[in-house]
Amino acid sequence: MQKILGGLRKVCEEYNLIDDGDKIAVGLSGGKDSLTLLTALKRYQSFSPQKFELIAIAVDLSNGKMDFSPLTQYCDDLGVPFQLIPSNVFEVVFDIRKEKNPCSLCANMRRGLLNSAAKAHGCNKVALGHHKDDLIETFIISLFFEGRLSTFKPKSYLSKTDLNIIRPLLYCCEEDICSVSKNFPVVKNICSVDHKTQRQEAKKILENLDKKYNDAKNKIFNAIIHKERYNLFD
């Protein structure tokens, strides 16, 4: 966890992710990434130069078919308030809309519910569990499947909701997150397309690149965050 905390502290300082008086909603999916984020932010809270509040918010996409009770107990043990938002997102995406590419709609609906709940609880920021590998994979998805250069930022402002979205795990790799999250109460994802998405294809592309070209994934990451990365066409 020390390595995770080191990465979290570094990205928070470099990109000014947390300010005094913030109330931060942690988007808690029940997966390893969001549980690691919540745990790390709670520990960081004890020594951070900025004083901030935390609340964990989970969106139940399954209309009650997933068991979130382990998260309730875990948040209680951490001393973090927990809110579960019920929804029928899976039903809308798969049964009503019958989406061929469901991930985009699902993500948009989930984010909307999360952000609305965050505002209702008086939060000014939402923290998401995206990590270093997610950043690189999103870049590869945009490049190979959309034909553009794009990925998410450490911090972004949503004017419609007056919320800042922050990603404090951006300097942490998935391997380290897997290592520290072994004893966390991970909630099983029941989505029918889990591990059958473009993100899985991006993972395969990166695995092949890393095998052929030494440290290719880290070089892509460094290219993304490099200060001279703007030497492109306007």
Phi, psi dihedrals of residue 198, rounded to the nearest 5° = -60, -30
User: Do the domain assignments include residue 31?
Assistant: yes
CATH classification at residue 126: 3.40.50.620
Q: Is 150 helix (H, G, I), strand (E, B) or coil?
A: coil
Q: What is the pTM of this model?
A: 0.93
Residue with more model confidence, 28 or 94? 28
DSSP state of 148: S
Number of structural domains (the chain) is 1
User: Do the domain assignments include residue 168?
Assistant: yes
- The radius of gyration computed from the CA coordinates of the chain, to the nearest angstrom, equals 18
Q: Which of 100, 84, 94, 88 is nearest to 187 (CA)?
A: 84
Integer Cα distance of 31 and 48 in angstroms: 25
pLDDT digits (tens, 9 = 90+) for 153-187: 999 999 999 999 999 999 999 999 999 999 999 99
User: Is residue 115 predicted with pLDDT exceeding 80?
Assistant: yes
User: Do the domain assignments include residue 116?
Assistant: yes
Residue with more model confidence, 178 or 64? 178
User: Do the domain assignments include residue 64?
Assistant: yes
User: Is residue 193 predicted with pLDDT exceeding 90?
Assistant: no
Question: Which residues does residue 127 pair with via DSSP β-bridges, in sequence order?
Answer: 26, 166
pLDDT at position 99: 80
User: Do the domain assignments include residue 113?
Assistant: yes
Most confident of 19-33, 86-100, 220-234: 19-33
pLDDT at position 53: 98
> Angle 17-85-65 (CA atoms, 0-180°, nearest 5)?
125
32, 74 contact by CB (below 8 A): no
User: Do the domain assignments include residue 66?
Assistant: yes
Q: Which domain holds residue 210?
A: 2-225
